[in-house]
Amino acid sequence: MPAAVQYIIIPLVKVVLIQITLLIGVALTVWLERRTAGFIQDRYGPNRVGPFGLLQPVADVVKLFMKEDIVPEKANKFIHSLAPAISVTIALSTIAVIPFADPIQLFGSEFKLQIADVNIGILYILAMVSLGVYGVTLSGWASNNKYSLLGGLRSSAQMISYELSMGVAVLGIILVNGTFELDTIVQNQAGWKWNIILQPVGFLIFLTAAFAETNRTPFDLPEAEQELVGGYHTEYSSLKFALFFLSEYANVIVSACVITTLYLGGYQFPYLQTFGLSPVLVSILQIITFLIKIFIIVFFFIWIRWTVPRFRYDQLMVLGWKVMLPLALANLTITAIIVTLLK
Amino acid sequence: MENIQLILYTVFGVLAIFSAIMMITRRNPIASALWLIFNFFMISGLYFLLRAQFIAIIQILVYAGAIMVLFIFVIMLLKLTDEKKLSEIMTYQKITAILFSILLMALLVFTVYVNFADKYTEISTEAETISKAENLGRELFLKYAFPIEAIGLLLLATIVGAVVLAKKKFE
Amino acid sequence: MFADYGQILVFMLFAIAFVAIAFFVALFLAPKKPSYSKESTYECGEDTEGETWVRFNVRYYVVALIFIIFDVEVVFLFPWAVVFKELGLFAFVEMAVFLIILILGFVYVLAKGDLQWDKPQPVIPELKRQIFKVDSN
């Protein structure tokens, strides 16, 4: 295979393909959320545009593009536009280190089904999560609106509080696997050895923190409608509002990918390799397995949102600092003791 | 491959200097903070080009993701608004400051040039291995056990000090 | 291996390009008819009173400070965790001491009540006069 194809064309195709898949995934998730909400609340969801209302998100995007972009006169105009852009860029970038299937052999060379297999995969994800604060905080600050500012401030305090527990929970995984590489972590989970079995408490902490980081119910205080109107996006309309919406759902999908990769065996289907199928078929089945696992987690996110009420702010902080963080530290200590004893 | 790295190095370096200048000349404190975050990203890019992957990602995780959040918090908390225009507060201090900055810069460039110009023109082939977190961990926790505990004590002092000072200052 | 970081960069550039294109397209599609009431600050129809940027509760600041210190601690934990299996008991004791020192600080903050957020104290108005008299018959 010529070098140009291997080093330029194939990576570019992968990048474009994954970004487009993620965007389509976001559209489908929005549709799924609205239909599920309809089902749970005993009403129809969107069902007119296209079969089962599947084209509703497309119609919404077109509508939002055609709407006027209203920027309040007192706002800081540039940062007001920058904030949703930051949110979306970070939400879309996080998925770059997630592996989708075993490497396959094509035309005599190895071909990784992952954008970048880097030595610091987990740290990259945590770094991107820690940057997620900016979109919300800056939009709150730039709008020059009391609701927005309160929403932005709340969310930054919330996100940094839960980020710590998330980091400490992930340390348990690193202890067990001894690596930051996501690809190796997934391969270590072959067969029954999913990390959810080895790290059940860590899984619960990570899942809860993921809810808090994506600002989804029961942790949606930054946009609590009943007290803050729309929270940080009160002053946003048209495209910029659509971008915030996009970043929220992209974050949900990416969180599902990360949870699947770290705790639910990634693309592994138990003992799939021992069935004696051709490698290409195995890879395709792995991608399908991965997509099904993501679907289950995304559905869980939606299900929780339409079932559980919102926390009060003091409860949120108590949960983050006095329950989750000590629990995560205890989990880390116990894991370390067990790893030492088993050695 | 070498060429791409050289181009990236130049881009990151120039943007880092540019963002640093923008950072200190903005009147709006939030704009300054944003330029500083951008600067951290460029520095992180430089670290990546030097194969220091762990340091590079920690640069983003800690500086851009944690310390700058505190900065923005403080800016919001203190109700900081636009600074006065530089020309309003500048007198003879300006000239002295610029003069000494140039002197310091010249000194730094001279020192680096004399001592390192011909020694370190290429990245060591082992840089990628050395910079891995695994090797860092081995070095850190076998050879430097005592400094680690000292850092722990330092951080403890920081927690207590910060909380006491914050309460005194704001209440 | 190292070219993979380049791919992450390309991936990020694509994400930025996507946002830029979206803004560019919206520039042509969206109407622009600004008016006074559209551009005023939204506060449920009321005019805004006073400044937006007021002083906030110092607890937010304390939370951010404690977060930074623990984040730095977690950064030390990463290289420790990744080689923990080969370092064994010595590294365990070393990190246990490190953690205990920091947990002391955490306990100090908790004991000082700086992470204690006010619980809302709902005031239920007492009715002197009974509106609906429940007839026991």
Give A139-193 as a DSSP string.
HHHHTT-HHHHHHHHHHHHHHHHHHHHHHHHHHHHHHHH----HHHHHHHT-TT-
Could you give the number of structural domains in chain B? 3
Nearest to C60 among B1, B77, B148 (CB): B77
| Same domain assignment for residues B118 and B169 | no
Quick one: what percent of chain A has pLDDT higher than 90? Answer: 12
Nearest to B133 among C79, C91, C109 (CB): C79
**CB of A98 within 8 A of CB of A182?**
yes
Q: Which of A312-316, B23-27, B124-128 has the lowest mean pLDDT?
A: B124-128
| Same domain assignment for residues B147 and B90 | no
Instruction: Grade residue B169 by pLDDT with cuts at 50, 70 and 90.
Output: low
Q: Which of A193-207, A219-233, A325-339, C43-57 has the lowest mean pLDDT?
A: C43-57
Q: Which of A84-98, A135-149, B7-21, B53-67 has the lowest mean pLDDT?
A: A135-149
CB contact under 8 A, A178 and C85: yes
CB contact under 8 A, B155 and C108: no
Contacts of residue A124 in chain C, CB cutoff 8 Å? 8
| Same domain assignment for residues B76 and B17 | yes
Q: What is the pLDDT of residue C133?
A: 62
* CATH annotation of C8-112: 1.20.58.1610
CA distance A247 to A84: 8
Cis peptide before A218 (omega within 30 of 0): yes
Length of chain B: 171
Residue of B3, B76, B159 best to disrupt the A interface, most CBs of A under 10 A: B76
For the cut 80, the answer to whether the pLDDT of residue A230 exceeds it is no
Beta-sheet strands, E only, within chain B: none
Mean pLDDT of A96-111: 75
For the cut 80, the answer to whether the pLDDT of residue B105 exceeds it is yes
Nearest to A141 among B30, B57, B66 (CB): B30
For the cut 70, the answer to whether the pLDDT of residue A2 exceeds it is no
Going C44 to C47 to C53 to C56, the CA torsion angle's sign is negative
C94 touches A: beta carbon within 8 Å = no
For the cut 80, the answer to whether the pLDDT of residue C128 exceeds it is no
Length of chain C: 137
For the cut 60, the answer to whether the pLDDT of residue B86 exceeds it is no
Q: What is the pLDDT of residue B83?
A: 60
Q: Give the residue ranges of DSSP H helices in A189-278.
A: 195-198, 200-213, 225-228, 238-263
Mean pLDDT of A132-160: 84
Q: Which of A225-234, B146-155, C59-68 has the lowest mean pLDDT?
A: A225-234
Chain A: residue nearest C72 by CA? A164
For the cut 60, the answer to whether the pLDDT of residue A67 exceeds it is yes
Phi, psi of B119 (to 5 degrees): -85, -50
Contacts of residue B140 in chain C, CB cutoff 8 Å? 76, 79-80
Nearest to C101 among B53, B145, B156 (CB): B156
Q: What is the pLDDT of residue B136?
A: 83
DSSP lists the bridge partners of residue A109 as: A106
| Same domain assignment for residues B107 and B44 | no
| Collapsed DSSP state (helix, strand, coil) of residue A102 | strand
Chain A: residue nearest B135 by CA? A179
Q: What is the pLDDT of residue A298?
A: 92
For A177-210, the pLDDT digits (tens) are 888 888 888 888 887 788 888 888 999 999 999 9
| Collapsed DSSP state (helix, strand, coil) of residue A110 | strand
Chains that touch B (3 or more CB pairs under 8 A): A, C
Burial zone of A226 (CB within 10 Å; 0-12 exposed, 13-18 middle, 19+ buried): exposed
For the cut 60, the answer to whether the pLDDT of residue B170 exceeds it is no
Chain B: residue nearest A132 by CA? B65
For the cut 90, the answer to whether the pLDDT of residue B103 exceeds it is yes
Mean pLDDT of A321-341: 88
Closest CA of chain B from A123, distance in Å: 7
Could you give the number of structural domains in chain A? 1
For the cut 70, the answer to whether the pLDDT of residue C135 exceeds it is no
Interfacial C residues in 11-50 facing A (CB < 8 Å): 11-12, 14-16, 18-19, 22-23, 25-26, 29-34, 38-44, 48
Closest by CA position to B133, among listed A106, C75, A169:
C75
CA distance A69 to A37: 28
Entry pTM? 0.88
For residues A8-29, b (16+ Cβ closer than 10 Å) or e, as one string?
eebbeebbeebbeebbebbbbb
Closest CA of chain B from C80, distance in Å: 5
Nearest to C4 among A116, A314, A321 (CB): A116
* Complex ipTM value: 0.84
Q: What is the pLDDT of residue A4?
A: 65
CA distance B24 to B36: 9
Assign residue B22 the CATH number of its domain: 1.20.120.1200
CA distance A262 to A98: 10
CA A106 to chain CA centroid, nearest Å: 30
- The single-letter code of the amino acid at A263 is Y
Q: What is chain B's alpha carbon radius of gyration, rounded to the nearest angstrom? A: 20
| Same domain assignment for residues B62 and B12 | yes
| Same domain assignment for residues B31 and B101 | no
Instruction: Grade residue A109 by pLDDT with cuts at 50, 70 and 90.
Output: low
Instruction: Grade residue A97 by pLDDT with cuts at 50, 70 and 90.
Output: confident
For residue A131, is it within any domain?
yes
Q: What is the pLDDT of residue C92?
A: 84
| Same domain assignment for residues B47 and B79 | yes
> Which carries the bigger pLDDT value, residue C57 or residue B113?
B113
Q: What is the pLDDT of residue A1?
A: 55
Instruction: Report how far apart, in Å, the C-alpha atoms of A305 and of each of A33, C62, C90 are.
Output: 9, 30, 45
| Same domain assignment for residues B104 and B49 | no
Tokens of A196: 């959810």
Instruction: Grade residue A60 by pLDDT with cuts at 50, 70 and 90.
Output: confident
Q: What is the pLDDT of residue C85?
A: 82
Contacts of residue C5 in chain B, CB cutoff 8 Å? 48, 53
Q: What is the pLDDT of residue A245?
A: 86
CB contact under 8 A, B163 and C104: no
Number of residue pairs across B and C with CB atoms under 8 Å? 134
Mean pLDDT of A144-167: 85
Q: What is the pLDDT of residue C1?
A: 53
For the cut 70, the answer to whether the pLDDT of residue A343 exceeds it is yes
C103 touches B: beta carbon within 8 Å = no
C110 touches B: beta carbon within 8 Å = no
Burial zone of B122 (CB within 10 Å; 0-12 exposed, 13-18 middle, 19+ buried): exposed
Closest by CA position to B41, among listed A134, C79, C61:
A134
Mean pLDDT of A291-317: 88
Domain span at residue A93 reads 68-342
Going B36 to B40 to B42 to B46, the CA torsion angle's sign is positive
| Same domain assignment for residues B121 and B163 | no
Q: What is the pLDDT of residue B82?
A: 61
- The single-letter code of the amino acid at A152 is G
Q: Which of A71-75, A319-323, B125-129 has the lowest mean pLDDT?
A: B125-129
Closest CA of chain A from C64, distance in Å: 7
Instruction: Grade residue A101 by pLDDT with cuts at 50, 70 and 90.
Output: confident
Q: What is the pLDDT of residue C22?
A: 87
From first CA to last CA, the distance across chain B in angstroms is: 57
Burial zone of C75 (CB within 10 Å; 0-12 exposed, 13-18 middle, 19+ buried): middle
- What average pLDDT does the structure give for chain C? 79
Q: What is the pLDDT of residue A289?
A: 87
Phi, psi of C135 (to 5 degrees): -85, 120
> Which carries the bigger pLDDT value, residue A256 or residue A49?
A256
Instruction: Grade residue A340 by pLDDT with cuts at 50, 70 and 90.
Output: confident
B66 touches A: beta carbon within 8 Å = yes
Q: What is the pLDDT of residue B88?
A: 62
| Collapsed DSSP state (helix, strand, coil) of residue C12 | helix
Domain span at residue B104 reads 86-127
- What average pLDDT does the structure give for chain A? 84
For B12-46, the pLDDT digits (tens) are 999 999 999 888 888 888 888 899 999 999 999 98
Chain B: residue nearest A119 by CA? B132
Closest CA of chain B from C18, distance in Å: 19
Contacts of residue C51 in chain B, CB cutoff 8 Å? 79
Quick one: what percent of chain C has pLDDT higher than 90? Answer: 0
Nearest to B148 among C62, C86, C98 (CB): C98
CB atoms within 10 A of CB A216: 20
Number of residue pairs across A and C with CB atoms under 8 Å? 184
Q: What is the pLDDT of residue C29?
A: 82
Closest by CA position to A287, among listed A275, A264, A269:
A269
Instruction: Grade residue A253 by pLDDT with cuts at 50, 70 and 90.
Output: very high
Nearest to A92 among C18, C34, C53 (CB): C18
**CB of C130 within 8 A of CB of A332?**
no
Chain C: residue nearest B79 by CA? C53
CB contact under 8 A, B136 and C79: yes
CA distance A255 to A128: 11
Q: What is the pLDDT of residue A190?
A: 81
For residues A84-119, b (16+ Cβ closer than 10 Å) or e, as one string?
bbbbbbbbbbbbbbbbbbbeeeeeeeeebbbbbbbb
B63 touches A: beta carbon within 8 Å = no
CA A72 to chain CA centroid, nearest Å: 31
